[in-house]
Structure 1
Amino acid sequence: MIRETPRNFLDILRSYVPDPSHPAGTLREEFADFFTEFQSEARPSVEPVLIRGDLRGVWCKVPESRPDRTLLFFHGGDFTVGSTADHLGFCSELARAGQSRLFSVDYRLAPEQVFPAQADDALAAYRYLLKQGVLPHRIIPVGISAGATLVLDLLLMLRDQHLPLPPAAVCMSPVVDLKFGGESITASQDTDWMTPGRLAALRTAYLGGREPDDPLASPINAQLSGLPPVYLQTGTGELLYDDISAFARKMKWAGVPVRFEIWEGMFHYWQIFGRQIPEAGGAVSHIGAFVRDIFDR
């Protein structure tokens, strides 16, 4: 159960309403200030590195981290906000649950850099790890929200470019269809803090005039066969619930091994709210068990 009533906590989350008149830098500071306070107070040790050009990554380690296990993490934030710095509590929990070190990518953000820059950065980060001597079967990409979409993009690009694939991937509430056609987009407005208006704004900023049908923009349109196992989480209260469910079915039809986990009543991004919601810790614990099982094989 949620410690506060779902309605009260959703009202708190809904109080974060980005003002489009604010500069992008201000919006990112407001996002960081608001969401950081809800995460675990635990913090990993960090080591920033340069991947290429202005693309940076951060090694995050906790006492439980094993050097032969790497989580390649992509944060959320509508493709327009978010960074490693404002996900450190969550990174710490993921690293601890998976007994892994975590490499978080500060990919480029829209509207300054639009699609497919973010997907290109995901691929560059994976290539960087390989060049550093990290073996592909010791890497598991993990992402939440927009970051989970980048995980799917990464898998598709690796397959299509005949590059070595990781043994599995973890996607928490990915954005899989930028047309947002599922019935839950409108039916779940009382159970989520995201809104159809925010989703439309995300699409406009991210695509920069490109079509939403592109398979990397909307992975539900991709040919999915040949991908490694995917652990997929969603909540029944999410606006994206129907889109994610349809995507899970398509992966199964394509022969992709899918572990599709549905959390009753949970809303978008719930996994990071470890200081308020017991289900957040439960979701991370399940991810950790999946990661450990894959690495132990």
Structure 2
Amino acid sequence: MIRETPQEFLDILKSYVPDPQKPVGVARQEFSEFFAEFQTDERPAVEQIAIRDDLQGVWCSVPEAVPDRTLLFFHGGGFTVGSTADHLGLCAELARVAQSRVFSVDYRLAPEHTFPAQVEDAVAAYRYLASHGYPPHRIIPVGISAGGTLVLDLLLTLRDQHLLMPPAAVCMSPIVDLAFGGESVTTNRDNDWLTAARLAAIRTLYLGGRDPDDPLASPVHANLYGLPRLYIQTGTGELMYDDISAFAKKAKWAGGQVSFEIWEGMFHFWQIFGKQVPEARAAVAHVGAFVQETFGR
């Protein structure tokens, strides 16, 4: 069980929801320091790589990693905060349970860089790997929250550009509809640490006035044919539970192989809180099992 009562823990998390009234740099620093504190103490060996002058990737390695397996990781933070540095505990866990190296992408953030800059960065990172000796069939994109959105955007772009696809992808609590129209936004308001106001701020800052129904902004509106295997996690307590469920159903209707895993009582981004939430480490272990099964085919 969570060491504090769930409501106490959610209240703590709510107190660190990024405040749009604060300077961007302050909000990012507070997010980074706070969320790093609640991850496991596992830390990978890291090596920073320049994908472009304005785009960095970080190799995260653990002794268990098989050299020719790569997880292309996109961090969370609502497209406005977050970095590899404040997801290192999660990266280490993923590397260990998947027995894979992790290549984490520090994509550009809003409001300085609005949609679709982040999508462009995701594609650039994938192209970087493919051009540096990492074949697509040995790469699995993995993302959490906004990072899960970028995983889907990457797949849609690769498909539309007729590029070689990875064999599978993992989305943990992805943002799939920037309209945030699901009933769970209201019914789960006491079960999640995210707030409707934070969701609205994400939409405004990320899109910069662009259409929230754009299929790359809200993948639930995309044509989902021709995607590789998807493994999607959501918690029943998430504000976006209904949106994610609708996306998973649509992906299945499009003929895709979708493993949709629902975690009872879990809130948004729970997978990162390895120190506090036993279900976090369990969920990451499930990701590892999916990755290993995929690479073992």
Task: Sort the TM-score into its range (normalised by shorter chain).
Answer: over 0.9
Q: C-alpha distance in 1, partners of 2:35/2:160?
A: 36
The corresponding residue for 1:179 is 179
RMSD: 0.7
Aligned amino acid, residue 72 of structure 1: L
**Is 2:230 aligned against 1:200?**
no
SS in 2 for 1:102: strand
> What is the deviation of 1:117?
0.2
Unaligned runs of 5+ in 1: none
SS in 1 for 2:178: coil
For residues 50-89 of structure 1, the aligned pairs below 5 Å read 50-89=50-89
17 and 145 in structure 1: CA distance in 2 versus 1, 3 angstrom threshold = closer
How many aligned residue pairs are there? 297
> What is the deviation of 1:254?
0.2
SS in 2 for 1:142: strand
1:52-90: CA deviations, max 9, x gaps? Answer: 121000000001011110000000001000000111011
Q: C-alpha distance in 1, partners of 2:244/2:183?
A: 12
**Is 2:47 aligned against 1:47?**
yes
8 A Cα contact 2:98 2:291, kept in partner: yes
**Is 2:169 aligned against 1:143?**
no
Q: C-alpha distance in 2, partners of 1:177/1:219?
A: 7
The corresponding residue for 1:245 is 245
Aligned amino acid, residue 88 of structure 2: L
Q: C-alpha distance in 2, partners of 1:76/1:20?
A: 17
Aligned amino acid, residue 2 of structure 1: I
8 A Cα contact 2:20 2:201, kept in partner: no
- What percent of counterpart residues are identical? 73
> What is the deviation of 1:5?
1.4
> What is the deviation of 1:12?
1.1
Q: C-alpha distance in 2, partners of 1:236/1:55?
A: 35
The corresponding residue for 2:10 is 10
Q: C-alpha distance in 1, partners of 2:18/2:85?
A: 19
The corresponding residue for 2:258 is 258
8 A Cα contact 2:17 2:194, kept in partner: no
SS in 2 for 1:19: coil
For residues 154-193 of structure 1, the aligned pairs below 5 Å read 154-193=154-193
Q: C-alpha distance in 2, partners of 1:20/1:121?
A: 24
> What is the deviation of 1:257?
0.3
TM-score (norm 1): 0.99
For residues 95-174 of structure 1, the aligned pairs below 5 Å read 95-174=95-174
1:188-244: CA deviations, max 9, x gaps? Answer: 001000000000000000000001010000000000000000000000000000000
> What is the deviation of 1:21?
2.7
SS in 2 for 1:71: strand
Q: C-alpha distance in 2, partners of 1:283/1:18?
A: 25
Q: Which runs of 4+ in 1 moved over 3 A?
A: none
SS in 2 for 1:217: coil
8 A Cα contact 2:80 2:206, kept in partner: yes
Q: C-alpha distance in 1, partners of 2:265/2:185?
A: 15
Q: C-alpha distance in 2, partners of 1:135/1:32?
A: 32
Aligned amino acid, residue 230 of structure 2: V
Q: C-alpha distance in 1, partners of 2:90/2:241?
A: 22
Range with greater deviation from structure 2 (199-208 or 16-25): 16-25
257 and 284 in structure 1: CA distance in 2 versus 1, 3 angstrom threshold = same
> What is the deviation of 1:18?
2.5
Q: C-alpha distance in 1, partners of 2:24/2:124?
A: 24
8 A Cα contact 2:235 2:266, kept in partner: yes
Q: C-alpha distance in 1, partners of 2:240/2:6?
A: 18
Aligned amino acid, residue 207 of structure 1: L
